[in-house]
Amino acid sequence: MLFEPRPIGFVRSDYTDTKQVPKGLGAKHVAEGVLEIVPEFEAGLQDIDGFSHLFVLWVFDRSEGFELCGMPPCDDRAHGVFATRSPFRPNPIGLTVVELLGREGLLLRVRGVDMLNRTPILDIKPYLSGVAPELLRRGWLAEAEERNRGKRPRT
């Protein structure tokens, strides 16, 4: 199968520069934005209104290249790219969970965007988490939080 990804829409957000997006341990993503869907895919939005949260798959279209092992902004130790949410990945695909605030036709108003304005959207799926909190392990992130407790965050 030949797979040729094409945007199903674009993000409208107030972020125009990567430096504006909150980063690091405990960063909160509460920014509101809009997912603007391309008209030819409108029928695919039917019944989306009933879901409180959505997975959004998108393209890091303003990242250059990739780094298999790198230092995330929330730690002073390097980690493998597949153990991080780094924008510098072999396939530059981002994944964000957003809260759906409302739909007006082709526009989905959402909260929790961490994407730059005009970021291409590859797919949207309803967020359904079946993993019990007590079964979740947070790997190096939990260790970094423990080490950095009480320290000033890196910028």
Ligand X SMILES: C[S@@+](CC[C@H](N)C(=O)[O-])C[C@H]1O[C@@H](n2cnc3c(N)ncnc32)[C@H](O)[C@@H]1O
Which spans of this chain sit near ligand X (rule: CB under 6 A)?
18, 21, 23, 60-63, 85, 87, 94-96, 114-116, 119
Amino acid at position 147, single letter: R
Nearest to 75 by CA among 151, 128, 145: 145
User: In the bound complex, what is the minimum distance in angstroms from residue 116's beta carbon to ligand X?
Assistant: 4
Q: Which residue is nearest to ligand X (CB)?
A: 18
Spatial separation of the C-alpha atoms in residues 45 and 54, rounded to whole Å? 12
User: In the bound complex, what is the minimum distance in angstroms from residue 69's beta carbon to ligand X?
Assistant: 16
**Token pair in block for residue 38:** 């391309």
Cβ distance to ligand X smaller for residue 63 or 148 = 63
Cβ distance to ligand X smaller for residue 22 or 105 = 22
User: In the bound complex, what is the minimum distance in angstroms from residue 43's beta carbon to ligand X?
Assistant: 26
Spatial separation of the C-alpha atoms in residues 34 and 9, rounded to whole Å? 10
Cβ distance to ligand X smaller for residue 54 or 116 = 116
CB atoms within 10 A of CB 28: 7
